[in-house]
Chain A
Amino acid sequence: AQSVTQLGSHVSVSEGALVLLRCNYSSSVPPYLFWYVQYPNQGLQLLLKYTSAATLVKGINGFEAEFKKSETSFHLTKPSAHMSDAAEYFCAVSDSWGKLQFGAGTQVVVTP
């Protein structure tokens, strides 16, 4: 079975500082990996997805993620946090049917 583990349920960063959200996956086949973001009182929206075309994936709002097979990781980063990045972030892995298994989520708080 495929699964993802997100390290850290809450992350606090200062405005302008690096954002790093950790995700490790477990999969018996080449994984399809995603990062989604949920802003307050909204549904989830896609930040980026790994397609195997490149190990460094760029997404919306300045986020990117790097796929590292040797570490079974797909960590999400943003060089400089904005107040608008305050949200909950979910890592997910897809199976052959397109069903997503989500991690528990990481709540990001951005302080001035």
Chain B
Amino acid sequence: DVKVTQSSRYLVKRTGEKVFLECVQDMDHENMFWYRQDPGLGLRLIYFSYDVKMKEKGDIPEGYSVSREKKERFSLILESASTNQTSMYLCASSLAGTNEKLFFGSGTQLSVL
């Protein structure tokens, strides 16, 4: 089975801290995604990567950056965490293509105090 692993299940950070969320997939998928999930808003795409060192902004990239130095790893970076970034963060991966299913990690619940 495909496995998408997110490094932390729960994180608590302080306002202004730099935060790294790590995601690793083990199936050689080309595409990787970062979504945030908030009640009543569903999942919103933050960033998307379709290849190593390639990235595209999603719907809500403000306040975030990403890094993909290796195919299996996709990192989400909060340069200066703010309270409105308290959320559930979901990483996903898929094969290249328009109709490929996404495989999701279990999520990281980030609280910024």
Contact = CB atoms under 8 A, between A and B. Distances in A.
Nearest to A45: B104
A94 B98 contact: yes
A32 to B, nearest CB: 5
A111 interface: no
B106 A99 contact: no
Nearest to A4: B42
Contacts of A45: 104
B100 interface: yes
Contacts of B104: 43-45
Interface in A33-59: 34, 36, 41-46, 49, 51
Given A42-B106, A43-B107, A104 B42 contact: yes
Interface residues of B, number: 28
A20 B38 CA distance: 23
A46 B42 contact: no
A96 B102 CA distance: 14
Contacts of B92: 43-44
Given A102-B43, A104-B40, A95 B98 contact: yes
A48 B35 CA distance: 20
A100 interface: yes
Interface of A: 6, 9, 32, 34, 36, 41-46, 49, 51, 90, 94-105
Name the 10 nearest CB pairs between A and B, nearest first. A43-B104, A102-B43, A104-B42, A102-B42, A46-B101, A44-B104, A32-B99, A43-B106, A105-B42, A43-B105
23 contacts: A32-B99, A34-B101, A42-B106, A43-B90, A43-B104, A43-B105, A44-B90, A44-B92, A46-B101, A46-B102, A49-B99, A51-B99, A90-B42, A94-B99, A96-B98, A97-B31, A97-B48, A97-B56, A98-B98, A98-B100, A99-B58, A100-B102, A102-B44
